[in-house]
Structure formats: structure tokens, C-alpha cells
Chain A
Amino acid sequence: MSGVLVMMEQRNGAWNRMSFEALAAGQQLAEHLGTECSAVVVGRNSGSLSQELASKKLKKVYAIDHELLASYTADGYLAALEQFVKQEAPDYVLFPHTYRVRDFAPALATRFSQVLISDVITIRYGSGSTGSPMFVRQLLQGKLNADYRHTSQGPCFVSVQAGTFRSDAVQEGTASVETFTPQLLPDQIRSKPGEPFRESSQSVDLSSAPLIVSVGRGIGEQDSLSLVEELAQALGAELAASRPICDNGWLPMERQVGSSGQTVSPKLYVAVGISGAIQHLVGMKGSKAVLAINKDENAPIFEIADYGVVGDLFEIVPELTKAVLAAKG
């Protein structure tokens, strides 16, 4: 088929919304390359989902359907997608950079002697028709960006970071739907997946909090957390944290903001001693206003902060608490 293929992710008939961001990326890439974009959905009886895609500007919608694909397994997805990509031979295969994609897409690329360009934040296009696109991804926890280029023969596999492309940029149109039935046998699938579950202790809902004070590695030790708690209390804000704080057991996991924790969009997000690794940023970049306090002026958190202080949080946070209390009278 050549062109661009976008893999859309679904679970039990519900989309992972990041799929539409990847779809927008795929449509844009195809336009720049002067080619067409198609989409594929993997699962069992995903007819209504593929029908939904039939109203998008796509060359074709493929439904890879098999009873052994009812729930996700790496072995099942790998075997099915390998057969499909071999048959259709797209130039580019785009994925949303989800946890599931991280589980199988690197191995899919390996089957084509390729390497997935993972977690891409921008696609840049050359001015002429000769230059191949440049895929930008982050290094060193967001402190550095890098240009990656596909330099070999065969399909180019790319996953797109959450929030990089806008799902409302997906163009409407019409496309026909085709079913692809892969050859799969039960003993090819070596792992047995259980049903997804949530820990019962999940009782803190940060997603609706109007004010959040969040703390990261910069706090140094557990005993210092009280500094940040006092600021949160003064503001009437919920206390949250980046992953390392919860990993250390200093705050419960349910207070974690980021890709593995909660996604928040408060009126004010105060980031104290948080450097702003991408896994954290994806959970809070929807905040209306961000105040960052960090000793490292190159911390990536400042790239998305509205207000910033480069300095010692142990000096600034207590003063801020005092000033907030005074302002509230």
C-alpha cells in the first residue's frame, strides 16, 4: 500500500483517546509526503470502532480481527501485525506512545530489522521533496532534544507522545473498511493476561482539585515534606508528588501526578523541586497556571511554567507560606 499506517488502540470496544492524536500525526505526515494515510484497529468484533474511522480522511480502514486478539497479548499482537505489515508494506507505521505500544512495538520493529523511534514530540519536514522527515524526541529526562532520522530500507516505525498532536485536528472524510484475518494458533500465545484492575485504596481524586501543590526529588528527604504540606494547607491546595517521592514511600501512590498516576488540570499547579521529566509533564501540562520553584535553571519544568523561581526551595517555600497566610488575613 505504501503510504502511512496508523495503529489505533482500543480496549473492550473503547478507544484509547491518544489514538486520535496519532491519527492526526499520520494524516499530517501523509500530506507532507504527498501520500495517503490508512488506519488499523486490532481486536475482536471491533466493527463499530472501524465504522467510526470510516468517516475520517483515510485511504482505508483495516480491522484485524481474530478471537485470540480479544484481549491484548504481545505474542498475539506481534504475530497479527507482522503478517499485516508484511502484506500491506506501508512506508511509515505510527502508534500512540501508550503502555501497550511500549510492550510490543519495539519487537514488531525488530521483526523488520527496524528500530522504533519512540515517544516523538515533533515531526519536522524538509523544504524539498527529497529530505525524509526528522523525528524529534527528548533525551536526559527532557533536558535535551534530539533529531532522529530513518536511514534504512523498510517501514519506519514511530510512536507519538501524548499531547503532541491535537486529536481535534483529525480530518473528516470517507474510507472503506476491510477486515484482515491473521493466522494465529492458541499455543503461539505464551502469556496469560488478567483483567485490568485498580488498587482499592484509590481514594484521592486530584483531577478535580482547583489548586495543587506538588513536590519532587528536590525536597531531598522525607522530613522536609512538612514545608510543602504547610504551603498546600495555606493555599487550601491538594498535595501531590512526582513519581520518585511515591516510589520512596514518602507519599502514597494515589497522590502521584504523571503518566502512571493521575492527570490533573487545576487553576494553579505549584511544582516544588520537580525537574519536569516528560512522564510528569504529561500529567499536568493542562494546568491553567504553573508556578515552578527549582534550583536548576535548565530544569525542563520551566519550559512550561508561567511563573518561575530559580532558587533554594528551603528558603522560598516557607516565605511563600507566610506571605500566603498574610494575604488571606
Chain B
Amino acid sequence: MTATAPAAPASAGTRSWLALALLHTRFQLLESVRVPIAVIGNLLFPSLALLFFVVPQRAVADDPLASVAAVAQLGTFAVMSACLFTLGAGVSEDRQLAFDPYVRTLPAGAGPRLAGRIVNAIVFCLGAQVPVILIAVLLTSASVTPARGLGGLAMVPVVAVPFTLLGLAIGYALSAKAAIAVVQAVLFPLAFAGGLFLPPEAFPSWLDALSQALPSRAARDLVVEVTTGIEGSPWALPVLLAWTAVFAALAVLAYRRDEGRRFR
């Protein structure tokens, strides 16, 4: 066996971290695609919201900047939703499968599997942008320079980081049933109060002030700033970073606790 083993850099015949991460990414995408309703549901909601709430409002749809801002908001929502559902609900479902302990006996650490999950979530986030952008191009006056458009797409993985961590925290802390309920209870209020459905300009001043402290609002402000070029709140970046740190701590805590409960 050792004679025929390929020249793997890792010791004692384990495969490289990257190869394992790719393997898990591939199979997690495959598993997601096999439940098409989950994919379609994820793609559909932000584009339907755009279609029903933005396109008919000609005051917004005919204003290029307002249209871009609306698309940026719903794009941000799509990222949040994909991260929280694929990771929050997905991880907790996986944990309940008897296959999970088996996979842990294979010669790989927890890292590649986690990486596969995160890449899977980001692919979903990017995929959810496609119908939103198509509707925006076809049915609104939204237009951006190529640089701003690319900047907007580049923001997808950036915004995905904190919500990925929040999703993992939920997924590792809760059972599958509880996780889905909590994801919904977190996602919609955060999205609304963060100005992802209604622009914050329409908020009463108290809500606007509160909103500035939320991760969803911070993410939205950054994406709107990148795509429209209109300068936003200087607090957006520090607020988003602070929440990222909080969610990272929660995710690590939940993961450790889960390990301790099940495997120690």
C-alpha cells in the first residue's frame, strides 16, 4: 500500500487539506442540488420581493440610483438568507444524522468539511444574485459601472462571513427543528430592521438609529456604498466587524460545546 501511494505531501497517507475540502464541497453541493426545492426557494424569495415591491413602484424603479440601492438591499438579503439556512438549518440536520460520526472516523479533520459547507453557502449566495440582477436589468432603470457591479459581487463573500458564522453558531447549538425556527426568527426581523426590504430613509428616526447597530444594516450600507458610490455611515464597517467577532465567538463556543457533549 505504501509503495503505490501517490506522493501526497501529508504524512502517513492522508490526503491534502485542499483535496478533502474540494471533495466535501462537491458532495455538499450535490446533496443540496438533489433537493431542488431548497435551491429554488432560496433563489426565489429575493427576486419575488424585487418583482412585487420594487418594480411596480415606478418612483424607485425609474430612478437608477434608487434601483441599484434596492437591488443591493435584496442581494444582501439573499446572502443572509442563504448563509443562515444552508448553515444554520443544514449543519444541525447533519449533526442529527448517524452518518456524521462515521465521517469523523475517516482520515480527515473537521476543517475540510466545514470549508465545504462554507463554500457551499457562498455558491448559494452568488447563485441567488443571478435572478435579482436579471430582474433589475430587465425591469428597472438600475445601471452601474462595470467596476461598481464587480465591487457589488465582490461584497458577496464579505457579507457572507458574519452570517456564515451566525449560521454555524445556530447550527451547532440547536436541534434541527429549533434551528429552522430560530433562523426564521432571526432572519426576517434582522432583514426588516436592517433596511433590506424598506430603505432606511423610510424609517422613523428611532428605528433608523437602532438599525445602525445591526449587522444587517451595516452590511446593507456597505453594499449600497460600493454599488452606488453614495457615501454611507462611517459606522458601517466597524459595526460589521464587531458583529463578525461576536458571531465567530458564538460559533466556536457552540462547536466546542457540541463536541464536548457528543464526543468527549
The yes or no verdict on A and B being binding partners is: no
Question: Could you tell me which A residues sit within 8 Å of B by CB distance?
Answer: none
